[in-house]
Structure 1
């Protein structure tokens, strides 16, 4: 890497440490799943439910086909061998104790927390079915209460539903592990005249470490020798590199882009900025509301409904002097009340929705994030790398008399060809984009904080910022004042010490950002932008895009505070970002959305990940959330509706007119309701989540150019 540095003609801050700051690309949670009582959405539960499902499915086959009630229902005869009659009781008992253990354990947890839900309802049904079936097998109860086949299918279906749910909730990355990965594997500690490689966790306060060009700082500290342009975008969100020299503070995880420096360690371990960001992520994740699933709420109501219906059934049938029928009807009610379809209503929708989303470039990690997205009324975009490309681009060329824009740009590109600096690459790329002839340069030199120089076609061409103009006693072009007000990076081009032109460089706005903002406005959603850049840069981008409000100059620890401030206004906030500095805000937001091109830590802290860097994909998440919610509601109404109708019929509500729902018919209806729920969920596969489909043509531009966004903070 060349030891070259560019300095901006002007910066957007009065901090002298920022003089010479440059632009460089930026890199880039949510509540944990509370789940049912007794389990949480972790990877080990995926394996547990998967293993249990396949084992119980294998056991269920002989249980079902050896059941007298199932044989009678389907219409075949069992062999006369006496051992056949014990297949269902023996294997059914194994299924109840082993396969039913997650639900029984979850039921105990729900009882202790006094929040009856799905687990208690399932446990009630399988327990009643087990006791009744065992009683029927032993001849203690009526043979009509042989529910072994129903018990087996119930356990298998519920295990399948929970396996699907756990798989959709399993998280594959850790935000805190990703934070730790920002630190280098080794640090070069100065020990006398030697430089020794050690692990960063071996560093002590006051140690001096060497950070080479392109290397990461291993611990927070103060520069004691050298100077470098530091890429702090991963930590601070500042879209330009910042010049740091003797006495300046540097942060662990940041990169010295162009020069080597020596740093005296001032903070280690839990006292570093990275560790602080990690604590913010953890705190925000832990404080996020752990809302119960919609299906759990429905199951809670159904539990009391089933219990009440069973009690009424027992009392009424006993009152009429039919004790045996009272037992049969009561047990039938409790078994039929178990929600086969309800247990699959949500997991199936979530599973299909996440699969469909993945094909559309949207990865849903957190079910609650998907459910919440439909209620979002404010979308907070990080600027750098999200609404913008996160890399400098030449946006304008101004020339002095007798020169052309192409000539100035070609000379600047020739001088910059041997540089690897981001601004140099932007200038060379702009020349290539215009198909300009870039001459070969010789005697290339770079000076930190000043610029570069080279011999091009017999002239000494220099490109640099304000320090270069001061060195050459030159005057900036008049256009610099306007560019400065827009927050742009300004580089002047000199030939033999004379200013021949100026280049405006800025973080280029993604063309898709306009369509994304317009589409969100069309849906009545407020769009807010947040950035570590100074106000002039933020205002320029915000005005161009037509966002409603913006936060500028926001430090890492304040990004999550900004999200919280919006939430205190009663807003439901979705945060879209791609930097490490965005991780706490992503975790704090009601929905965290990470741009897939961003850093692992941002991705790990988010509930939704966009595989592409197209901000229009946020609309895909909204459409997916709304469509999924509709399917969830439809499935819940169908599943719960089956129970609301079948339970009274099983209880004998129509007995006065001669109709009592037979157990066999109830079982068939139960299976049909599960099929209907599954088929309805499949309709989600038709949803078109492409950015063009959810936002319309990029050519549409309905924003009001006259309305300036409101600056916040």
Structure 2
């Protein structure tokens, strides 16, 4: 049975009949739906465009090269000398390190070498070029030393092997954190039915929606999706438009009204004349908005890439100065040793892990706290957000109606509730479920009804204990001539749904239903205010509904009656005011706004499209999880800065020492000591990143921690 849309409300008001598209929202599977637009700024990493393939590539390369590295290091003469042991006296032992080292350079080093070439072509030198330069110098110098052409101190096979293995590990971790496959646009297409029922004369033919043409007549059965934009030619039904238009409850549509592709006829059949197909539909328009917003996203270059670019020029300049200085001093052999030492020591082992390791651990901790991070740039940007824009229905509210109040007229409240529940007993409509749930919660005995029927736009009727019981909207009163309850106007001002209960044509009570506010919402908003963040609410509902929720939650600013095509423009409006905006939504109509925002956050009960358009997904529907994202962003950023300063600081100190800046006072940094320091810097970076594991990101813990700081 289907309830009508109350006649006093406009198409923009009310309660959402939730779409059942949240089946996979909390299992992490939506990580595959990520758009990767933000990572194009990662230009320094040549060949990183296909992250799904690169995860497997770097994983295989790491494990295989780790195995190969063992004999390379063990049979490296310089490594044996450093540790004080002799290379085993086996036939051909002297060639094990050079030959396997060559395999590692060509195969394991290939991603870095191709990335270096890419950086040279794009004239943006960075980490890849520095890595490529270091392993190439180490490779050439090592062969020169092996063949007796250069000083034996220039045998770097062990360093080359460890360098390649460590960098492969770092990039494997990075690629795993960035892995993704499909985009939001695929999910938009999934809203359309697989088949449409076209009416050809007296026959109904199943065709693909792509085959429909302007002027075709199609049949949409109850519960089915509208295959194309059109005009209703026959029928009347409540249409669930929540996944496309942002309406928070089904809207009554009848002959002459327009409907859009992807919406659902909930209670009755409709015959619709197609007026737009393909790229001309409203759904395609939303698709274009998503594309445009994603394409206009800032391509922020990573901090590590910038640091690597600076480090590249610093190391290259130091190497050139070192070569010139030692040559002018008449020590060409020492010039080669010192120059190669500078280039090898300058290679950013720790810098290569500084960012991806923090991201990997932060992502893992986030998942345990119900936060799925899909876009690293979104996570980084969250710490700067100063305005959080919440979609109302399904985000701040539960998106389903509850029976909040009963007013009686000549009857007991329990009797009114029992009779209404009896009439609604066979209905699956959200309003009916709310009435029955209230009766069950109050322990009211529900009598058995008979001859139950429903009338679109009016309500339901049934015979209960010999009386005719009717439950419906104010339009039902227009038909019967009955007078509505006294509190109806006040309820109407609050934007509530109003139903009347009639017994034998006389009104015996009124039911006030509204979208229930999540109990966590107020706590989340108070905590955001404590952080100095402005809270804004956006909704397709009328102002009465929006203002009622806004007053209850203490929201700073409200955008009401906003159509889907305008949501992204509201985000842009806030951005033009100089605000960094995080948008939290759960519907298809939110997708363009999620993509437009500085940070798009899809709440867990949302659709695949909203999830695919967002950079962060909240696995639960708890709005307090937004605070977890902010805390995670700030903590991760602190660790990134600490790691970058440590990793870059090591180079800033060790490179001049390796170049021999203190040689006049008798101190020159040996390459072995530099290599050990380089390894230690990697350990320090890794251990510092591990401290993130102490962060508890469960919403309750995050709110409690913020409360303790006040």
Q: TM-score, normalised by structure 2?
A: 0.95
| One of 332, 343, 349 as aligned partner of 1:334 | 343
* Partner residue, 2:68: 59
Cα offsets for 1:315-369 (capped at 9, x unmatched): 2212221111111101110110001011011111111110111111111111111
| One of 601, 613, 629 as aligned partner of 1:621 | 629
Q: Which runs of 5+ in 1 are unaligned?
A: 703-713
Cα offsets for 1:277-312 (capped at 9, x unmatched): 112112211211111111111111111110111122
Alignment of 1:321-360 (within 5 A): 321-360=330-369
| One of 236, 241, 255 as aligned partner of 1:246 | 255
Query: SS in structure 1 opposite 2:244?
Result: helix
| One of 438, 442, 447 as aligned partner of 1:439 | 447
* Partner residue, 2:598: 590
Query: SS in structure 2 opposite 1:229?
Result: strand
Name the CA distance, whole Å, in 2 between partners of 1:464 and 1:473: 13
Measure how far apart 1:96 and its partner are: 1.5
Query: SS in structure 1 opposite 2:103?
Result: helix
* Partner residue, 1:6: 4
Q: Structure 1 residues 380, 30: closer, same or farther in 2, change over 3 A?
A: farther
* Partner residue, 2:38: 32
| One of 630, 643, 653 as aligned partner of 2:638 | 630
| One of 176, 194, 202 as aligned partner of 2:203 | 194
Q: Structure 1 residues 288, 30: closer, same or farther in 2, change over 3 A?
A: farther
Name the CA distance, whole Å, in 2 between partners of 1:265 and 1:397: 43
* Partner residue, 1:540: 548
Q: What's the RMSD between the two structures over aligned residues?
A: 1.8
Cα offsets for 1:93-115 (capped at 9, x unmatched): 22222221211221222222222
Cα offsets for 1:217-250 (capped at 9, x unmatched): 1111111111110000000111011111111111
* Partner residue, 1:581: 589
Measure how far apart 1:697 and its partner are: 9.8
Q: Structure 1 residues 698, 241: closer, same or farther in 2, change over 3 A?
A: farther
Query: SS in structure 2 opposite 1:553?
Result: coil
Query: SS in structure 2 opposite 1:90?
Result: helix
Cα offsets for 1:530-564 (capped at 9, x unmatched): 11111111111111111111111111111111111
Name the CA distance, whole Å, in 2 between partners of 1:299 and 1:427: 63
* Partner residue, 1:686: 694
Cα offsets for 1:469-525 (capped at 9, x unmatched): 000001212211111111111111111111111111111100000000000000000
Measure how far apart 1:172 and its partner are: 4.5
Query: SS in structure 2 opposite 1:125?
Result: helix
Measure how far apart 1:157 and its partner are: 0.9
Measure how far apart 1:190 and its partner are: 1.0
The count of corresponding residues between Structure 1 and Structure 2 is 693
* Partner residue, 1:319: 328
| One of 449, 456, 477 as aligned partner of 2:485 | 477
Q: Is the 8 A contact 2:370 2:618 kept in 1?
A: yes
Q: Is the 8 A contact 2:290 2:591 kept in 1?
A: yes
Query: SS in structure 1 opposite 2:358?
Result: helix
Q: Is the 8 A contact 2:16 2:242 kept in 1?
A: no
**More moved, 380-389 vs 110-119:** 110-119
Kindly indicate whether residue 184 of structure 2 is the aligned counterpart of residue 159 of structure 1.
no
Kindly indicate whether residue 649 of structure 2 is the aligned counterpart of residue 651 of structure 1.
no
* Partner residue, 1:452: 460
Name the CA distance, whole Å, in 1 between partners of 2:479 and 2:320: 93
**More moved, 100-109 vs 377-386:** 100-109
* Partner residue, 2:513: 505
* Partner residue, 1:486: 494
Name the CA distance, whole Å, in 2 between partners of 1:698 and 1:418: 47
Name the CA distance, whole Å, in 1 between partners of 2:265 and 2:681: 62
Name the CA distance, whole Å, in 2 between partners of 1:7 and 1:665: 78
Name the CA distance, whole Å, in 2 between partners of 1:548 and 1:696: 23
Q: Is the 8 A contact 1:30 1:285 kept in 2?
A: no
Alignment of 1:409-420 (within 5 A): 409-420=417-428
Alignment of 1:138-217 (within 5 A): 138-217=147-226
Name the CA distance, whole Å, in 2 between partners of 1:697 and 1:59: 48
| One of 227, 230, 236 as aligned partner of 1:221 | 230
Q: Is the 8 A contact 2:594 2:614 kept in 1?
A: yes
| One of 100, 106, 116 as aligned partner of 1:97 | 106
Measure how far apart 1:58 and its partner are: 2.2
Measure how far apart 1:79 and its partner are: 2.8
Name the CA distance, whole Å, in 2 between partners of 1:437 and 1:112: 78
Measure how far apart 1:40 and its partner are: 2.9
Measure how far apart 1:22 and its partner are: 6.3
Q: Structure 1 residues 52, 45: closer, same or farther in 2, change over 3 A?
A: same
Measure how far apart 1:6 and its partner are: 2.6
Q: Is the 8 A contact 2:605 2:620 kept in 1?
A: yes
**More moved, 310-319 vs 543-552:** 310-319
Q: Is the 8 A contact 1:6 1:423 kept in 2?
A: no
Name the CA distance, whole Å, in 2 between partners of 1:639 and 1:278: 43
Measure how far apart 1:435 and its partner are: 1.3
Q: Is the 8 A contact 2:402 2:513 kept in 1?
A: yes
**More moved, 523-532 vs 270-279:** 270-279
Measure how far apart 1:25 and its partner are: 2.1
Query: SS in structure 2 opposite 1:427?
Result: helix
Name the CA distance, whole Å, in 2 between partners of 1:222 and 1:7: 19
